[in-house]
Amino acid sequence: MMKVDSKVVARLGGKDVLQFILDLEDGMMVKLLSYGAIVTHLTAPDRNGKSEDMVLGFDDPSRYWSEPYLSHMCYLGAIIGRNGNRIARGRFILNAKEYRLALNHGPDHIHGGIIGFDKVVWDSETIEYKDAIGVRFSYFSRDGEEGYPGNLRITVSFVLKKDHSLTIDYRGTIDQPCPVNLTHHGYWNLTGGVKRDILGHELEIYANRYTVTDAALIPTGEFRPLKGTPLDFNSPHVIGERIDRVPGGYDHNYVLSEGVTGLRKIARVTEPASGRVMEVLTTEPGVQFYTGNFLDGALTGKGGVSYSKHLGFCLETQHFPDSPNHPEFPDTVLQPGQTYRHTTVYRFRTVK
Protein backbone atom coordinates (compact mmCIF):
# COMPACT_ATOMS: atom_id res chain seq x y z
CA MET A 1 0.00 0.00 0.00
CA MET A 2 1.00 3.60 -0.64
CA LYS A 3 -0.71 6.85 0.21
CA VAL A 4 -0.35 10.58 -0.37
CA ASP A 5 -1.77 13.10 2.07
CA SER A 6 -1.69 16.89 2.03
CA LYS A 7 -2.86 19.75 4.22
CA VAL A 8 -2.61 23.53 4.37
CA VAL A 9 -0.16 24.59 7.10
CA ALA A 10 0.10 28.36 6.45
CA ARG A 11 -0.67 31.16 4.04
CA LEU A 12 2.19 33.32 2.75
CA GLY A 13 2.00 36.09 0.18
CA GLY A 14 -1.57 35.21 -0.67
CA LYS A 15 -0.78 31.53 -1.34
CA ASP A 16 -1.45 28.43 0.73
CA VAL A 17 1.61 26.55 1.96
CA LEU A 18 0.94 22.81 1.67
CA GLN A 19 2.56 19.95 3.51
CA PHE A 20 2.67 16.64 1.65
CA ILE A 21 3.24 13.19 3.14
CA LEU A 22 4.38 10.41 0.81
CA ASP A 23 4.07 7.12 2.70
CA LEU A 24 4.93 3.67 1.39
CA GLU A 25 3.54 2.23 4.66
CA ASP A 26 6.58 -0.02 5.05
CA GLY A 27 8.72 2.37 7.08
CA MET A 28 9.67 4.64 4.16
CA MET A 29 8.08 8.09 4.29
CA VAL A 30 8.84 11.60 2.99
CA LYS A 31 7.35 14.93 4.06
CA LEU A 32 7.61 18.00 1.83
CA LEU A 33 6.53 21.63 1.89
CA SER A 34 5.40 23.71 -1.08
CA TYR A 35 7.40 26.55 0.49
CA GLY A 36 10.91 26.14 -0.91
CA ALA A 37 10.02 22.64 -2.20
CA ILE A 38 11.62 21.49 1.06
CA VAL A 39 12.12 17.89 2.14
CA THR A 40 11.44 18.24 5.86
CA HIS A 41 11.47 14.54 6.83
CA LEU A 42 12.65 11.29 5.28
CA THR A 43 12.33 8.09 7.30
CA ALA A 44 13.76 4.71 6.38
CA PRO A 45 14.33 1.47 8.31
CA ASP A 46 17.61 0.45 9.90
CA ARG A 47 18.95 -3.11 9.72
CA ASN A 48 16.51 -4.14 12.47
CA GLY A 49 13.50 -2.60 10.76
CA LYS A 50 13.28 0.50 12.95
CA SER A 51 12.31 3.55 10.89
CA GLU A 52 13.80 6.91 11.81
CA ASP A 53 14.17 10.34 10.26
CA MET A 54 17.43 11.03 8.42
CA VAL A 55 17.30 14.71 7.44
CA LEU A 56 17.96 17.87 9.43
CA GLY A 57 15.02 20.23 9.66
CA PHE A 58 12.04 21.34 11.74
CA ASP A 59 8.75 19.75 12.79
CA ASP A 60 7.03 23.16 12.82
CA PRO A 61 6.81 24.37 9.18
CA SER A 62 6.80 28.05 10.21
CA ARG A 63 10.39 27.71 11.39
CA TYR A 64 11.50 27.64 7.73
CA TRP A 65 10.34 31.21 7.04
CA SER A 66 11.15 32.72 10.45
CA GLU A 67 14.13 34.04 12.34
CA PRO A 68 16.68 32.99 13.43
CA TYR A 69 16.66 30.36 10.68
CA LEU A 70 16.61 32.81 7.77
CA SER A 71 19.67 34.67 9.01
CA HIS A 72 21.69 31.47 9.24
CA MET A 73 21.34 30.69 5.49
CA CYS A 74 21.37 26.93 6.05
CA TYR A 75 18.90 26.02 3.25
CA LEU A 76 17.85 22.84 5.09
CA GLY A 77 16.30 20.42 2.58
CA ALA A 78 15.38 23.10 0.03
CA ILE A 79 15.51 23.37 -3.74
CA ILE A 80 18.11 25.97 -4.73
CA GLY A 81 17.83 28.17 -7.82
CA ARG A 82 18.20 29.69 -10.27
CA ASN A 83 21.84 28.86 -9.55
CA GLY A 84 23.13 26.67 -6.77
CA ASN A 85 26.42 27.50 -5.11
CA ARG A 86 28.44 30.69 -5.62
CA ILE A 87 28.74 33.23 -8.43
CA ALA A 88 31.74 35.50 -7.91
CA ARG A 89 30.95 39.16 -7.31
CA GLY A 90 27.36 38.40 -8.30
CA ARG A 91 27.98 39.06 -11.95
CA PHE A 92 28.56 37.38 -15.29
CA ILE A 93 28.76 38.32 -18.95
CA LEU A 94 26.46 36.67 -21.45
CA ASN A 95 26.29 37.63 -25.13
CA ALA A 96 28.46 40.68 -24.45
CA LYS A 97 26.12 42.00 -21.75
CA GLU A 98 26.99 42.12 -18.05
CA TYR A 99 24.36 40.95 -15.58
CA ARG A 100 24.50 41.88 -11.91
CA LEU A 101 22.84 39.56 -9.41
CA ALA A 102 21.70 40.10 -5.85
CA LEU A 103 24.63 39.97 -3.40
CA ASN A 104 23.77 37.89 -0.35
CA HIS A 105 27.08 36.37 0.76
CA GLY A 106 29.52 39.22 1.30
CA PRO A 107 30.56 40.43 -2.16
CA ASP A 108 29.20 37.29 -3.84
CA HIS A 109 25.91 35.71 -4.91
CA ILE A 110 25.02 32.32 -3.43
CA HIS A 111 22.16 29.83 -3.86
CA GLY A 112 19.93 32.02 -6.02
CA GLY A 113 20.06 35.28 -4.09
CA ILE A 114 18.13 37.03 -1.36
CA ILE A 115 14.82 35.41 -2.29
CA GLY A 116 15.85 32.30 -4.16
CA PHE A 117 13.71 29.30 -4.99
CA ASP A 118 14.11 28.12 -1.38
CA LYS A 119 12.00 31.08 -0.16
CA VAL A 120 9.03 31.06 -2.52
CA VAL A 121 5.74 29.15 -2.44
CA TRP A 122 5.59 26.71 -5.35
CA ASP A 123 2.44 25.51 -7.07
CA SER A 124 1.98 21.80 -6.48
CA GLU A 125 0.08 18.69 -7.48
CA THR A 126 0.27 15.07 -6.39
CA ILE A 127 1.28 12.35 -8.83
CA GLU A 128 0.64 8.63 -8.54
CA TYR A 129 1.98 5.67 -10.47
CA LYS A 130 1.59 1.92 -10.12
CA ASP A 131 4.73 1.58 -8.00
CA ALA A 132 5.40 5.17 -6.91
CA ILE A 133 3.87 8.33 -5.44
CA GLY A 134 5.03 11.91 -5.58
CA VAL A 135 4.55 15.65 -5.78
CA ARG A 136 5.24 17.93 -8.74
CA PHE A 137 6.18 21.49 -7.79
CA SER A 138 6.18 24.29 -10.35
CA TYR A 139 7.37 27.90 -10.24
CA PHE A 140 7.44 30.82 -12.66
CA SER A 141 10.57 32.93 -12.13
CA ARG A 142 10.07 36.29 -13.82
CA ASP A 143 12.59 38.15 -15.94
CA GLY A 144 14.88 40.17 -13.65
CA GLU A 145 14.23 38.14 -10.50
CA GLU A 146 17.37 38.40 -8.32
CA GLY A 147 19.03 39.93 -11.39
CA TYR A 148 18.64 36.96 -13.74
CA PRO A 149 17.42 37.45 -17.32
CA GLY A 150 14.45 35.68 -18.85
CA ASN A 151 11.14 34.23 -17.75
CA LEU A 152 11.90 30.75 -16.43
CA ARG A 153 9.26 28.07 -15.97
CA ILE A 154 10.56 25.29 -13.76
CA THR A 155 9.12 22.04 -12.40
CA VAL A 156 10.68 19.80 -9.76
CA SER A 157 9.10 16.41 -9.16
CA PHE A 158 9.77 14.30 -6.07
CA VAL A 159 8.85 10.64 -6.63
CA LEU A 160 9.06 8.01 -3.89
CA LYS A 161 9.26 4.48 -5.27
CA LYS A 162 8.64 1.08 -3.74
CA ASP A 163 12.36 0.27 -4.09
CA HIS A 164 13.00 2.91 -1.38
CA SER A 165 14.38 5.53 -3.75
CA LEU A 166 13.53 9.22 -3.91
CA THR A 167 13.89 10.63 -7.42
CA ILE A 168 14.16 14.40 -7.89
CA ASP A 169 13.46 15.33 -11.50
CA TYR A 170 13.98 18.89 -12.76
CA ARG A 171 12.62 20.42 -15.98
CA GLY A 172 12.64 24.02 -17.18
CA THR A 173 12.19 26.34 -20.17
CA ILE A 174 13.06 29.99 -20.68
CA ASP A 175 12.51 32.83 -23.16
CA GLN A 176 16.01 34.41 -22.92
CA PRO A 177 19.44 32.84 -22.46
CA CYS A 178 20.32 32.47 -18.77
CA PRO A 179 22.53 30.26 -16.58
CA VAL A 180 20.37 27.68 -14.77
CA ASN A 181 21.81 25.26 -12.21
CA LEU A 182 19.37 23.87 -9.64
CA THR A 183 20.16 21.52 -6.76
CA HIS A 184 18.66 19.96 -3.64
CA HIS A 185 20.30 21.10 -0.38
CA GLY A 186 19.42 18.20 1.91
CA TYR A 187 21.42 17.65 5.11
CA TRP A 188 21.65 13.93 5.82
CA ASN A 189 22.42 11.99 8.99
CA LEU A 190 21.85 8.26 8.63
CA THR A 191 22.08 7.53 12.36
CA GLY A 192 18.36 8.35 12.56
CA GLY A 193 17.13 11.11 14.81
CA VAL A 194 20.60 12.71 14.74
CA LYS A 195 21.99 10.43 17.45
CA ARG A 196 25.56 11.34 16.59
CA ASP A 197 27.48 13.52 14.14
CA ILE A 198 28.27 12.29 10.64
CA LEU A 199 32.04 11.85 11.13
CA GLY A 200 31.59 8.09 11.58
CA HIS A 201 29.74 7.65 8.29
CA GLU A 202 31.66 5.82 5.58
CA LEU A 203 31.71 7.58 2.19
CA GLU A 204 32.54 6.82 -1.41
CA ILE A 205 32.51 9.44 -4.20
CA TYR A 206 33.43 8.26 -7.70
CA ALA A 207 35.51 11.11 -9.10
CA ASN A 208 39.11 11.75 -10.12
CA ARG A 209 39.35 15.55 -9.88
CA TYR A 210 37.89 18.50 -8.03
CA THR A 211 37.59 22.21 -8.72
CA VAL A 212 40.10 24.24 -6.70
CA THR A 213 38.76 27.29 -4.85
CA ASP A 214 40.18 30.40 -3.25
CA ALA A 215 39.69 31.42 0.40
CA ALA A 216 36.12 32.59 -0.38
CA LEU A 217 35.29 29.17 -1.92
CA ILE A 218 35.16 30.64 -5.44
CA PRO A 219 36.67 28.35 -8.11
CA THR A 220 40.00 29.46 -9.53
CA GLY A 221 39.42 27.50 -12.74
CA GLU A 222 42.01 24.87 -11.84
CA PHE A 223 41.16 21.18 -11.80
CA ARG A 224 43.28 19.13 -9.41
CA PRO A 225 43.62 15.32 -9.04
CA LEU A 226 42.06 13.76 -5.95
CA LYS A 227 44.43 10.82 -5.72
CA GLY A 228 46.69 10.97 -2.70
CA THR A 229 44.70 13.75 -1.02
CA PRO A 230 42.30 13.63 1.96
CA LEU A 231 39.55 14.52 -0.54
CA ASP A 232 39.81 11.17 -2.32
CA PHE A 233 36.85 8.89 -1.55
CA ASN A 234 37.13 6.54 -4.53
CA SER A 235 37.72 3.82 -1.95
CA PRO A 236 35.62 3.92 1.23
CA HIS A 237 36.79 6.22 4.02
CA VAL A 238 35.16 7.33 7.24
CA ILE A 239 34.31 11.03 6.87
CA GLY A 240 36.11 12.01 10.08
CA GLU A 241 39.26 9.99 9.30
CA ARG A 242 41.07 12.81 7.47
CA ILE A 243 38.86 15.86 8.01
CA ASP A 244 41.47 17.51 10.24
CA ARG A 245 43.70 17.68 7.16
CA VAL A 246 41.05 19.67 5.25
CA PRO A 247 41.06 23.34 6.35
CA GLY A 248 37.53 24.26 7.38
CA GLY A 249 36.15 20.80 6.62
CA TYR A 250 34.82 19.35 3.39
CA ASP A 251 33.07 21.84 1.09
CA HIS A 252 34.29 20.81 -2.36
CA ASN A 253 32.90 20.28 -5.84
CA TYR A 254 33.82 16.87 -7.25
CA VAL A 255 34.12 16.40 -11.02
CA LEU A 256 32.07 13.27 -11.77
CA SER A 257 32.41 10.56 -14.39
CA GLU A 258 34.17 12.70 -16.96
CA GLY A 259 32.98 11.92 -20.47
CA VAL A 260 30.03 9.91 -19.14
CA THR A 261 26.46 11.16 -19.54
CA GLY A 262 23.17 9.82 -18.26
CA LEU A 263 22.04 8.66 -14.85
CA ARG A 264 24.78 6.81 -12.96
CA LYS A 265 25.80 6.07 -9.37
CA ILE A 266 28.23 8.69 -8.08
CA ALA A 267 28.32 8.20 -4.30
CA ARG A 268 27.56 5.75 -1.50
CA VAL A 269 27.25 6.47 2.22
CA THR A 270 27.09 3.82 4.95
CA GLU A 271 26.28 4.36 8.63
CA PRO A 272 27.80 1.34 10.41
CA ALA A 273 25.73 1.35 13.63
CA SER A 274 22.31 1.44 11.94
CA GLY A 275 23.31 -0.41 8.77
CA ARG A 276 21.65 2.27 6.65
CA VAL A 277 23.07 2.89 3.18
CA MET A 278 22.34 5.81 0.86
CA GLU A 279 23.35 5.64 -2.79
CA VAL A 280 23.29 8.75 -4.97
CA LEU A 281 22.72 8.66 -8.73
CA THR A 282 22.66 11.72 -10.97
CA THR A 283 22.86 13.05 -14.51
CA GLU A 284 24.89 16.07 -13.33
CA PRO A 285 28.66 16.60 -13.90
CA GLY A 286 29.42 17.62 -10.30
CA VAL A 287 28.53 17.08 -6.67
CA GLN A 288 29.27 19.41 -3.75
CA PHE A 289 30.27 17.42 -0.68
CA TYR A 290 29.71 19.54 2.44
CA THR A 291 30.05 18.51 6.08
CA GLY A 292 27.93 21.14 7.82
CA ASN A 293 30.98 23.21 8.73
CA PHE A 294 28.96 26.39 9.33
CA LEU A 295 26.35 24.85 11.64
CA ASP A 296 27.14 26.58 14.93
CA GLY A 297 24.59 25.23 17.42
CA ALA A 298 22.42 28.35 17.32
CA LEU A 299 19.52 26.53 15.63
CA THR A 300 17.43 23.95 17.47
CA GLY A 301 15.91 21.36 15.18
CA LYS A 302 13.67 18.33 15.48
CA GLY A 303 13.61 16.67 18.88
CA GLY A 304 15.25 19.69 20.52
CA VAL A 305 18.61 18.85 18.96
CA SER A 306 21.04 21.76 18.64
CA TYR A 307 22.38 21.72 15.08
CA SER A 308 26.11 22.01 15.59
CA LYS A 309 29.09 21.46 13.33
CA HIS A 310 29.21 18.16 11.42
CA LEU A 311 25.71 17.02 12.43
CA GLY A 312 24.73 16.67 8.76
CA PHE A 313 26.36 16.20 5.37
CA CYS A 314 25.24 17.34 1.93
CA LEU A 315 25.77 15.76 -1.48
CA GLU A 316 24.44 18.49 -3.78
CA THR A 317 24.38 17.30 -7.38
CA GLN A 318 25.00 20.22 -9.70
CA HIS A 319 26.99 21.90 -12.41
CA PHE A 320 30.13 23.55 -11.08
CA PRO A 321 30.16 26.66 -8.85
CA ASP A 322 30.63 29.97 -10.66
CA SER A 323 30.13 28.25 -14.02
CA PRO A 324 28.92 31.43 -15.81
CA ASN A 325 32.40 32.92 -15.29
CA HIS A 326 34.37 29.84 -16.39
CA PRO A 327 34.10 28.88 -20.06
CA GLU A 328 36.25 25.83 -19.30
CA PHE A 329 33.43 24.42 -17.11
CA PRO A 330 30.40 22.53 -18.49
CA ASP A 331 27.95 25.08 -19.88
CA THR A 332 24.95 26.04 -17.72
CA VAL A 333 23.29 28.52 -20.09
CA LEU A 334 19.73 27.51 -20.92
CA GLN A 335 18.64 28.77 -24.34
CA PRO A 336 15.12 29.47 -25.58
CA GLY A 337 13.80 26.33 -27.23
CA GLN A 338 15.88 24.06 -24.99
CA THR A 339 14.67 22.14 -21.93
CA TYR A 340 16.64 22.15 -18.70
CA ARG A 341 16.91 18.55 -17.49
CA HIS A 342 18.46 17.16 -14.34
CA THR A 343 17.67 13.96 -12.46
CA THR A 344 19.05 12.85 -9.11
CA VAL A 345 18.12 9.73 -7.14
CA TYR A 346 18.71 9.03 -3.45
CA ARG A 347 18.33 5.27 -2.91
CA PHE A 348 18.17 3.64 0.54
CA ARG A 349 18.83 0.12 1.77
CA THR A 350 20.55 -1.63 4.68
CA VAL A 351 23.52 -3.90 5.24
CA LYS A 352 24.10 -6.32 8.10
Closest CA to 92 of 327, 346, 324, 339: 324
Residue 185 annotated to the active site: yes
Q: CA separation (Å) from 292 to 122, 188, 213, 242, 309?
A: 27, 10, 18, 16, 6
Torsion of CA 212, 189, 196, 238, to 10 degrees: -50
Closest CA to 239 of 195, 201, 286, 189: 201
Which of 111, 184, 185, 310 is the catalytic position? 185
Instruction: List phi, psi (to 5°) of 48.
Output: -100, 5
Which of 52, 316, 319, 342 is the catalytic position? 316
Pairing of strands 202-205, 237-238: antiparallel
Give the C-alpha separation, 139 to 71, whole Å: 24
The tally of CA atoms less than 13 A away on the side-chain side of residue 218 is 16
Q: CA separation (Å) from 268 to 238, 264, 290, 306?
A: 12, 12, 15, 27
Give the C-alpha separation, 56 to 62, whole Å: 15
Give the C-alpha separation, 282 to 259, whole Å: 14
Q: Which residues are known catalytic residues?
A: 185, 316
